[in-house]
With several copies, the nearest count.
Chain A
Amino acid sequence: MAVLVQQADFDLAQELAQLGGADGSAGAVISFTGLVRGDSDLHALELEHYPAMTSAALEQIEQAARKRWGLIDVRIIHRFGKLELGQQIMMVAVSAPHRRAAFEAADYIMDYLKSRAPFWKKEHSTQGTAWVDAKPEDEDDLARWT
């Protein structure tokens, strides 16, 4: 179990190697990685966050998922700062006894990170800068889990 909030990049392979469950307790491991995607003129994404709150918010999401699906292990890394096109923004890795639990838990964690983790994204493009708006669907996504 680990939740990391950092400016530095991370090595997904190293994180997966540290994920618990390789002893035969896990039947399923899922990793999700979010990358800076380049729509039209975008060349960078700037992530602002609320340092006093971020880790606690991520840990709360992680604990809720771990409890609900009986996960073996969870690792979450979320970066902040200015990230270039194609760079890694964040990752979630989960291990579980069974496939369905792993999928649902990873999906749940992503939905909550999206709308309940105190990060804000600003796009830097040839047109200037613009804050990314939350989508109405993001809240609908959360409703899937209640």
Chain B
Amino acid sequence: MNLNVVYFAWLRERIGEPSEMVETNAATVADLIKELRTREERYDLAFSDLDAVRVAVDQTLTDFDAPLDNAREVAFFPPMTGG
């Protein structure tokens, strides 16, 4: 499956890209993170503290257990600071 993976705030800065297409067979968000961390050190570093990472699948906030079937976009970001 081809996923659009997007990053915001310091995750974007650490990974060095605002978004990228990822070819993956990951079943869940957690699997996808595992896969990304094996890629390069900048990914490993960005995802080293998962307590500080939030995820949205297809623009809906969810958790790391969320399945990725039919997903088109996965976004990673720190806790939001709106308002």
A residues neighboring B (CB under 8 Å): 34, 48-50, 52-53, 56-57, 78, 89-90, 99, 110, 113-122, 131-134, 138
Closest beta carbon of chain B to A62's beta carbon, Å: 13
Q: Contact at B83–A50, with CB atoms within 8 Å?
A: no
Q: Contact at B82–A118, with CB atoms within 8 Å?
A: yes
One of B6-14, B26-34, B36-44, B63-71 at the interface: B6-14
B75 within 8 A of A: yes
B61 within 8 A of A: yes
Report the bound CA distance from A113 to B80 in whole Å: 9
- In the complex, the chain A residue whose C-beta lies closest to that of B60 is A53
A114 partner, pick from B12, B60, B78, B82, beta carbons under 8 A: B82
Report the bound CA distance from A92 to B83 in whole Å: 9
**What would 17 more interface pairs be, CB under 8 Å, given A49-B8, A115-B80, A134-B80?**
A48-B8, A48-B12, A50-B6, A50-B56, A50-B59, A50-B75, A50-B77, A53-B75, A115-B79, A118-B8, A118-B75, A118-B80, A120-B9, A120-B80, A121-B81, A131-B10, A138-B79
Report the bound CA distance from A146 to B43 in whole Å: 36
Main SS class of interface, B: mixed
Counting contact residues on chain B (CB < 8 A from A), the size range is: 10 to 19
Closest beta carbon of chain A to B61's beta carbon, Å: 7
B residues neighboring A (CB under 8 Å): 6, 8-10, 12, 56, 59-61, 73, 75, 77-83
Report the bound CA distance from A113 to B6 in whole Å: 21
Q: Contact at B83–A34, with CB atoms within 8 Å?
A: yes
Could you write out 26 A-B pairs with CB less than 8 Å apart?
A: A49-B8, A50-B6, A50-B8, A50-B75, A50-B77, A78-B82, A113-B82, A113-B83, A114-B81, A114-B82, A115-B79, A115-B82, A116-B61, A117-B82, A118-B56, A118-B80, A118-B82, A120-B8, A120-B9, A120-B81, A121-B81, A131-B78, A134-B79, A134-B80, A134-B81, A138-B79
- In the complex, the chain A residue whose C-beta lies closest to that of B75 is A50
Q: Contact at B83–A120, with CB atoms within 8 Å?
A: no
